[in-house]
Structure 1
């Protein structure tokens, strides 16, 4: 496996398998064609044809849309179509920063192909002029990529939460980083990907942050999502990435970005151009 394979993996969605989900004419998500057939069983909520799934126009408010689609999602969950109900709301947005069109149960977001947003933070230490990266190992009970390697801090942005607020919350819960130290994290851009994972569409944007940590800082996980942490040399990180899929799929993208931005990967790398350009590939 090579580094570029991680990017290809996260840009692998075959959109011919999906129909756009439209709310007042705007694309709110993408629905697998077989799921669209099931959604046709809710004609007071959704209209379905060969070109699109459309939310009925009479569902014109945030609350009416949220309630109607929430009932549909609950039915499909109880029928075993998808799993992992979390009782956590995510916004349905056509553009980040716009007013949400409705809310949706987090576990239903991939089924509806809704654009999700999250924060991913690289926590690093500077030692004798070299950078080392804190790497977490996901707990074996995680519903997505159990046991895979992860960031020091990462999480989805739920309804009503800002990016910085989400980052501070995840810093505290995932690594016991105090608020004053978390506030030193610096934004380092955003990455977008669209892939099929566990049978559903992951259609996500990640807001990337870097945080330089004191040499004597040791992260401690509080929410049970991370089983352990290890401070790694960047050569080891690159070697693990090049060897296979030990890193969680989207974490691999952010770590490759980190290696490029901090000069560990240089233009002498045979895939440098494809890596650098591929990370910022954007599809509407």
Structure 2
């Protein structure tokens, strides 16, 4: 086990195994064959062949497409094909802030293999013993990654809100961080990854923020998604990242990036060059 294994776990996608999801002739995602079979039950919305799934060409209006697809996804959720429902809309797009074809429920993004976006905030503290990091433990009732370790603040990036305003909102909800303190957070990095799993394909961009906190600050969860916070040394966080799977998979990428930027993973590490190369090998995406 090691850092390279953590990066590889988030970049295990084999796109050739997936039928392509197309809208207006353009590829936007990749669908597991088993989910394509489910979509074939809705021929008025989806056309399905062995190699492709495409939105019916009669659906041309943004809102019309959104409503039609949303109805299908709600039916599939009611039939327990989709394992959760978040109530946040994500755009069908190639790039953040770019042209979007329609919107879809967040829980469906992996099933459709579309590009999606989220943000993670490193909660950092300078102490006499060195830099420490606030780490949250996800509630056991979360449908995904229950009980796993997570960044102090993290959340999806739905339509209708900027990345920065979303960060401020999530900081208040997840860690009760006052607005004036949260506003000092700096956007430092974007991390892209493509992870294949039971639901389908997670093709994600994480907008990474660093937030330096006073020593006396204690995060408190408000929205019920975190059961506890723990202040760790960089050494503790690094050891858990490198040697265990206690962190949620994509949180390991944020941890590794932080360890690189703070010099904790240095050029003396035997895998240093490969860690740098593989962590940031995918196409960058810009935050707005």
Report the equivalent of 2:14: 14
**CA–CA distance in structure 2, aligned partners of residues 220 and 267 of structure 1:** 37
Tell me what 2:157 maps to.
Answer: 157
SS for the counterpart of 1:232 is strand
1:184 paired with 2:184, answer yes
Structure 1 range deviating more: 86-95 or 116-125 = 86-95
1:25 is aligned to 2:16: no
Could you say which residue in structure 1 is the equivalent of 2:35?
A: 35
Q: Which residue of 1 aligns with 2:252?
A: 252
Q: Which runs of 5+ in 1 are unaligned?
A: none
TM-score (norm 1): 0.96
In the aligned structure 2, how far is the partner of 1:198 from the partner of 1:217?
39
**SS of structure 2 residue aligned to 1:101:** strand
Residue 111 (structure 1) aligns with: 111
- 1:63 corresponds to: 63
| TM-superposition CA deviations, 1:60-100 (whole Å, max 9, x none) | 11111111111221222222212212222222222111243
Shift of 1:101: 1.6
Q: What is the TM-score of this pair, normalised by structure 2?
A: 0.94
Which residue in the other structure is 2:266 paired with?
A: 266
Superposed CA RMSD: 1.5
Q: Structure 1 CA distance, aligned partners of 2:255 and 2:53?
A: 36
Q: 1:111, CA displacement in angstroms?
A: 0.9
CA contact (8 A) 1:26 1:94 kept: no
Q: 1:142 matched to which residue of 2?
A: 142
Equivalent position of 2:89 in the other structure:
89
Question: In structure 2, the residue corresponding to 1:199 is in which secondary structure?
Answer: coil
SS at match of 1:247: coil
- Structure 1 consecutive aligned stretches of length 4 or more whose deviation exceeds 3 Å: none
In the alignment of these two chains, the number of paired residues is: 284
Deviations 1:192-244 (A, max 9, x none): 11112333211110001101111111101101111111111111111111221
Q: Counterpart of 1:166? A: 166
Give 1:264 shift: 0.9
- How far 1:129 sits from its partner (Å)? 7.2
Match of 2:79 in 1: 79
